[in-house]
Amino acid sequence: MLLLAGCGGPLSSLDPAGPAAGATAVLWWAMLIGAGVLTLMVLGLLAAGFGRPRPVREGRWTVGLGLWFSIAVLSALLAAGVWVGERLLPRGDAVVTVEAHARQWGWRFGHPDGRGGRIETDGTLHIPAGQPVDVIVTSADVIHSFWVPRLAGKIDAIPGRANRLRIEADTPGSFDGLCAEFCGLGHAGMRFRVIAHPPDDWPAVLETLGEETAE
Amino acid sequence: MTDTVAAEGVGDATLDIPANPPRRALGLHRELSRVWSNDRGWRGQVTAVNHTTLGLRFMATALVFFAIGGVLAMLIRAQLATRQGAFLDTELYNQIFTMHGSIMMFLFAIPMLEGLGIYLLPKLLGTRDMAFPRLTALGYWCYLFGGLILLAALAAGVAPRDGWFMYTPLSSAEFSPGINADVWLLGVTFVEISALAAAVEITVTILRQRAPGMRLTQMPLFAWYMLGTAAMMLVGFPPLILASVLLEVERAFDWPFFDVARGGDPLLWQHLFWMFGHPEVYIIFLPAAGAISTILPALCRTSILGYGGIVAAILALVFLSFGLWVHHMFAIGIPHLALTFFSAASLAVAVPTAVQVFAWIGTMWKGRPELALPMLYILGFFLTFVMGGLTGVMLAVIPFNWQAHDTAFVTAHLHYVLIGGFVFPMLAAAAWWMPQITGRARIRGLGEVAFWVILIGFHGTFFVMHLTGLLGMPRRIDVYPDNPEWEVLNLTSSVFGFVMAIGLALFALDLVLQATMGQRAGRNPWRAPTLDWAMSLPAPTFNFASLPGPRQVAEAAPDRTALALARGEGLLPGAPRGQRELLVTTAADARPDHVAVLPGNTALPLVLSASIGAFVLLMLAGLYALAPVALVAVAALAWRWHRGLATLAAGGAMVAVAPRLALPVQPGRGRSLTHSGGVALLVADGTLFAALIFGVAFLHVVAPGWPPPPAAAETATGAVLLVALAVGLGVAALAAHVTEARQPAGRSLAGWAVLGLAGNGAALLALALLAGWVMDDPTAHARDALRGVLAGYVGLHALICALMAAFVLDQIRRGEVPTSGAPSGWRLWQDFATATGLVAVAVVLGTAAVA
Amino acid sequence: MTWLPRALIGPGLWAVGFALVYGLHGLGCALGWSTQEVAGMTLHRLAMVAAWVGTLLACVVVVMWLPGGPDPTRRLPRIGAWIGLGATIFTLLPLLVATSC
Ligand SMILES: [Cu+2]
């Protein structure tokens, strides 16, 4: 419990609030346990090495442990990684597609207004909760990176390219985001916020946003 | 490898070589010292070319840079200790973390392992020096001057500030005006000359200078590791050198390789950078693993378990580590399938690493480990490196990488790998070889205290940093006012960071005390089985008064060997002809092939690297028109360099190596060390060319902003000039081949050399006409910039080959040709220049046809 | 002494195959091969699988062609060939499952 309490925080990837971050966090805890066991195993073998000489079979160490044991562990990990990775990909079935446009040093977001136009905001991205959202990430100048740790992994904003990232928030709320790729003097302050609204309120939210930005 | 086939012609080189009659050791020592010693006083400092001197100098300089990089690390930790660190401003902070990474990678780790290899390899393999002593010195001066340029920039407040990875477009002229980025690009490339120089001579030394009878399949594992390292450096550094040159050209002359608006692509930089950057990690790890494979079995009083398995693991690592580079780029939006290839490769590379780790642990089971100081550091290595390896495996898993990438988690991981996998083994190596280097024993106690302080400081700093990263702290930020949850973790890292610094300072103090106040050590205090201990300590400049042969190699008893060799019972005793001589053997079986004469003390390397430095400084100052003048000086000095070789080669006589064994001095054709070195250098050059072709393909296929508007260059005139270029290079190649073939006869060569000169001249003329009248403005689009670079590459090589043809002509005039290696050298380079030139012409014609 | 270059054949084949498949991947995505169906899979995947299988076959041929034996100068080339085969299988295995473009 204490351990889990230490894992909180507005930017914690260990306190997931969406399916992508959730699946990745599960992967992390599983890998942590595996890594802990392997570390203890190696240290145990090392400790057992201190003592009188004993006959050793070369093949057990280099082929048995070195080759087959490690291939077994790594194959399982590869399968798990590819399987989770596939599930996180945007598949064109997003309910909403928004844009995140990075510049030195801030974020401008675009939302569909439902009538074919876009509603633009600075520093805050609005999404409906409980629905898959695709973010089209672009850059006006240097390379930045769009990251909302509690929702999903990051994707870079690269000049000349439009990258697509799938995010989803399980429940309504406010989630912190930041620029993860070093982008010069203002890098540390290049934060933003994602607000997930109840799906029923979404049309109304867009309505209000549209009015606010029109003023 | 081709040169060794001929070597089997030395039929009388049986591997049972009789011993020379014993002589007085002191007399031999004096005779050799007269020939091999450095000059006296300050002059000796600038003219030294000896591997012991330069190896130590490399390592000492690297330690100074390590200390500077460490101070920068402490500044970073001080800034991050609290949320609102007001210690440094952002501009300075960015310079400091950029310099910390760049110094640790390019000015500490790489030169350190070069120094270790240069110091140790000749001793371990049973020879007297590296293959190219002047090149060793040139490498050192380039390293020192390049490093000083970077330090001067730091002191002047104009240090690079775009991160050690220098991503474009942040590092391009638009977003990084000023010379900060140029300092990195030019300074680091200058330093890399030393990496290539070391890689060339380490390869040649290991393959051609092993003691007779030391077959490749039996040589010390350290040599296998260094051979792998050197091969990786030959292939790993060229992509970075190319990337740096392209970016510098973009910054200086506005050729758009990375500018997306004009057909460039910032991702090209990332690919080229990480094609170097990931192998770099293994380049750093392999020599450290070599040190462990040397020290561990000796401290367990046994032999290494699984020699063959470890050699296979090295082979696998050398290749696999070139298939991982994209795992630094998982978040750039590459399709998932391509990512999974690199994810799988990144996982696969853990297999050969595991093979080594388990072979080492099995060695400990097999023997009786002694808990001496080097063993403590090896245990520290195991703990740290295994954890770093496991977090590396985690980072190879794509979804986790998307979360952890560019966070403090990666900072923690890379320090576990680099400090665990390089610094701890180097500390073990220092404790192990200090008696060898100084001839003095350690003062007990201090080293052990230093070990525990370093170990506790390290893990206290970096273990919590994993969590800091998982809690979302990105890399390269200087303040985090809104995130109090990171503060305790950062403060912990900072406090323990200073603990670690204290530990390292204690370690340095221990080294100084040992070097100055330690008691005289016995000849082989560790009872190690390798030849590096078969000499008086500290090592004489010539290492061995007579060289070890098959018997000494088979015995593996350095104490007995030392005595016999000092008395001249080994091969090629003393320096009876008053020149620096050593044995060259065949690559696989180490059969005696010939006697090589090495150049003596000279300031030429210093002057040559100073003129390269002048070029770098002129470029930095923006005096682009003046910079080529420095290159003229470089060419003139290179000419003198080879003139020196030619004079040395004027022998061809047979000299006695042992009773009933006489060998020729410096055979000119094909088998010489210089020829082997030329092949190694061309491997690197070829990799650079391949990386350039990759760049052409990458931009054509992947970059946005293609296809460009039709080029004016694609006219009949252009095609004719391209054909003229190809024909000129072809004629030159023909001339070079005929010259080499007719060299033994020694007649009517001048005409062919003139023809070679003319062929290369015609190629240069065709290029000049293309550039002057036909080619499009290289600043318009990446296509034209790439064509410009291809033209520059071909032109540079045609120019080098023209100079080589002229050099052969000069040698004909001086009557040196019968024994000279120059015609085969020219033929080698001309073949390469012609082949790459034809590929370049084909690429230009092909891409024009597709468009 | 041909055994040292021979030891490089296996890992070298892996390097060629890996680069070939990665190159085909980039080319196929750029040229839109992933929308053309051939024999139950996309032209894109077919091309990559063909390159993969070709490399695997080449590795198998090298493994069979190289002589075995306890002498290290024979063992290392053969181990090299196995390294090439194993690395080619493992690193390109995701070809069968992951999304291509
Ligand atoms: Cu940014």
The pLDDT tens digits along chain C (101 residues) read 578 889 999 999 999 999 999 999 998 888 888 887 777 788 888 999 999 999 999 999 999 998 888 888 888 999 999 999 999 999 999 988 887 77
* CA-CA-CA-CA dihedral for B552, B558, B561, B567, to nearest 10: 140
Question: Which of C90, C93, C99 is nearest residue A86 as measured by Cβ atoms?
Answer: C99
Q: How much of chain C is in helix, strand and coil states, percent to nearest 5?
A: 80, 5, 20
Residue whose C-alpha is closest to residue B649's, from B802, B823, B799, B813? B823
Contacts 24+ apart (CB under 8 A), B79-85: B79/B478, B80/B478, B80/B490, B80/B493, B80/B494, B81/B490, B81/B491, B81/B494, B81/B495, B82/B487, B82/B490, B82/B491, B83/B479, B83/B480, B83/B481, B83/B483, B83/B484, B83/B486, B83/B487, B84/B479, B84/B481, B85/B478, B85/B479
Q: What pLDDT is recorded for position B850? A: 73
Q: Are A177 and A135 in contact (CB under 8 A)?
A: no
Q: Beta strands B661-664 and A191-197: pairing type?
A: unpaired
For residue range A126-156, list pLDDT tens digits in order: 999 999 999 999 999 999 999 999 999 999 9
Chains linked to C by 3 or more Cβ pairs within 8 Å: A, B
The mean pLDDT of chain B is: 92
Over residues B295-304, the mean pLDDT reads 95
Beta carbons of B323 and C91 less than 8 Å apart: yes
Is residue B666 one of the residues assigned to a domain?
no
Sheet with A163-167: strands ordered across? A118-122, A106-112, A96-103, A133-139, A163-167
Grade residue B10 by pLDDT with cuts at 50, 70 and 90.
very low
Distance in Å, alpha carbon of C79 to nearest chain B alpha carbon: 7
Distance in Å, alpha carbon of A144 to nearest chain B alpha carbon: 10
Grade residue B187 by pLDDT with cuts at 50, 70 and 90.
very high
Q: Does the pLDDT at position B649 exceed 60?
A: no
Question: Which of C4, C83, C100 is nearest residue B337 as measured by Cβ atoms?
Answer: C100
Binding-site residues on chain B for chain C (CB distance < 8 A): 1, 4-5, 216-217, 308, 311-312, 315-316, 318-320, 322-323, 335-341, 343-345, 347-348, 586-589, 697-698, 701-702
B85 or B389, higher pLDDT: B389
Q: What pLDDT is recorded for position B379? A: 97
Beta carbons of C22 and B341 less than 8 Å apart: yes
Name the strand (E) or helix (H) holding B418: helix B408-418
Residue whose C-alpha is closest to residue C55's, from C17, C86, C3? C17
Cis peptide before B486 (omega within 30 of 0): no
Is residue B803 one of the residues assigned to a domain?
yes
Q: Are B16 and B595 in contact (CB under 8 A)?
A: no
% pLDDT > 90, chain B: 80
Q: How far is CA A9 from CA A6, A166, B165, B469, B470, in A?
A: 8, 22, 30, 12, 10
Q: Does the pLDDT at position B5 exceed 60?
A: no
What six digits make up the tokens of B575? 């320096």
Is residue B75 one of the residues assigned to a domain?
no
Residue whose C-alpha is closest to residue B680's, from B318, B319, B234, B240? B234
Distance in Å, alpha carbon of A115 to nearest chain B alpha carbon: 30
Binding-site residues on chain C for chain A (CB distance < 8 A): 90, 93-94, 97-99
Residue with tokens 């006409």: B769
Q: Are B483 and B461 in contact (CB under 8 A)?
A: no
Least confident of B237-246, B279-288, B655-664, B833-842: B655-664
Q: How many domains does chain B have?
A: 1
Beta carbons of C25 and B348 less than 8 Å apart: no
Is residue B386 one of the residues assigned to a domain?
no
- Rounded to the nearest angstrom, the distance between the alpha carbon of A142 and the centre of ligand 1 is 8
Q: Which amino acid is at B627?
A: A
What six digits make up the tokens of B314? 């090295």
Backbone torsions φ then ψ of C100, nearest 5 degrees: -85, -50
Q: What gap in Å lies between CA B154 and CA B147, rounded to an integer?
A: 11
Residues with CB under 5 A from ligand 1 (ion): A 144, 179, 183, 190
% pLDDT > 70, chain A: 97
B216 or B12, higher pLDDT: B216
Q: What pLDDT is recorded for position B468? A: 96
Question: Which of A71, A75, A86 is nearest residue C98 as measured by Cβ atoms?
Answer: A86
- Provide the 8-state DSSP code for B407: B
Q: Are B585 and B595 in contact (CB under 8 A)?
A: no
Is residue B806 one of the residues assigned to a domain?
yes
Name the strand (E) or helix (H) holding A133: strand A133-139
Q: What gap in Å lies between CA B222 and CA B290, rounded to an integer?
A: 4
Q: What gap in Å lies between CA B701 and CA B690, rounded to an integer?
A: 16
Q: What is the residue range of B804's domain?
A: 707-850
Backbone torsions φ then ψ of B382, nearest 5 degrees: -55, -55
Q: What pLDDT is recorded for position A85? A: 93
Name which of C4, C33, C59 to mutate to probe chain B: the one with the most chain B Cβ atoms within 10 A of its Cβ.
C4
Q: Does the pLDDT at position B450 exceed 70?
A: yes
Q: Are C24 and C48 in contact (CB under 8 A)?
A: yes
Distance of alpha carbon B565 from its chain centroid, rounded? 32
Q: Does the pLDDT at position B651 exceed 70?
A: no
Q: Across the A/C interface, how many CB contacts are shorter than 8 Å?
A: 13
Q: What pLDDT is recorded for position B2? A: 32
Q: What pLDDT is recorded for position B714? A: 65
CATH number of the domain bearing residue B829: 1.20.120
Q: Does the pLDDT at position B9 exceed 60?
A: no
Residues within 8 A of A (CB atoms), B 474-513 only = 474-480, 482-483, 485-486
Grade residue B767 by pLDDT with cuts at 50, 70 and 90.
very high
- Rounded to the nearest angstrom, the distance between the alpha carbon of A139 and the centre of ligand 1 is 9
Is residue B766 one of the residues assigned to a domain?
yes
Q: What gap in Å lies between CA B144 and CA B142, rounded to an integer?
A: 5
For residue range B340-395, list pLDDT tens digits in order: 999 999 999 999 999 999 999 999 999 999 999 999 999 999 999 999 999 999 99
Question: Which of A75, A82, A89 is nearest residue C97 as measured by Cβ atoms?
Answer: A82
Beta carbons of B341 and C21 less than 8 Å apart: yes
Is residue B175 one of the residues assigned to a domain?
no
* CA-CA-CA-CA dihedral for B743, B749, B754, B758, to nearest 10: -60
Grade residue A5 by pLDDT with cuts at 50, 70 and 90.
low
What six digits make up the tokens of A50? 């201190």
- B372 in the Ramachandran plot: left (φ > 0), alpha (ψ -120 to 50) or beta? beta
Residues 6+ apart with CB under 8 A from B738: B752
Residue with tokens 């550094």: B237
Q: Which domains does chain A have, with CATH numbers?
A: 2-88 (no CATH), 96-214 (2.60.40.420)
SS (HEC) of B582-620 = EEEECCCCCCEEEEEEECCCCCHHHHHHHHHHHHHHHHH
Q: Does the pLDDT at position A173 exceed 50?
A: yes
Q: What gap in Å lies between CA A131 and CA A163, rounded to an integer?
A: 20
Q: How far is CA B57 from CA A105, B48, B130, in A?
A: 45, 11, 15
Q: What gap in Å lies between CA A205 and CA A210, rounded to an integer?
A: 8
Grade residue B674 by pLDDT with cuts at 50, 70 and 90.
confident
Distance in Å, alpha carbon of A86 to nearest chain C alpha carbon: 7
Q: Does the pLDDT at position A93 exceed 50?
A: yes
Residues 6+ apart with CB under 8 A from B598: B128, B129, B133, B579, B580, B581, B582, B648
Backbone torsions φ then ψ of C25, nearest 5 degrees: -60, -50
Measured on CA atoms in the order B262, B264, B265, B266, is the torsion positive or negative? negative
Rounded to two decimals, the pTM is 0.95
Is residue B124 one of the residues assigned to a domain?
no
- Rounded to the nearest angstrom, the distance between the alpha carbon of A185 and the centre of ligand 1 is 9
Is the predicted ipTM greater than 0.90, yes or no?
yes
- Rounded to the nearest angstrom, the distance between the alpha carbon of A107 and the centre of ligand 1 is 9
Q: What pLDDT is recorded for position B667? A: 67
Residue whose C-alpha is closest to residue B1's, from B675, B584, B587? B587
Over residues A92-101, the mean pLDDT reads 86
Q: Beta strands A191-197 and A124-128: pairing type?
A: parallel
Residue whose C-alpha is closest to residue B245's, from B825, B793, B837? B793
Beta carbons of A155 and B331 less than 8 Å apart: yes
Instruction: State the CB neighbour count (10 A cutoff) for residue B371.
Output: 11
* Interface residue B364 vs chain A (CB under 8 A): yes
Instruction: State the CB neighbour count (10 A cutoff) for residue B663.
Output: 22
Residue whose C-alpha is closest to residue A50's, from B363, B526, B292, B364? B364
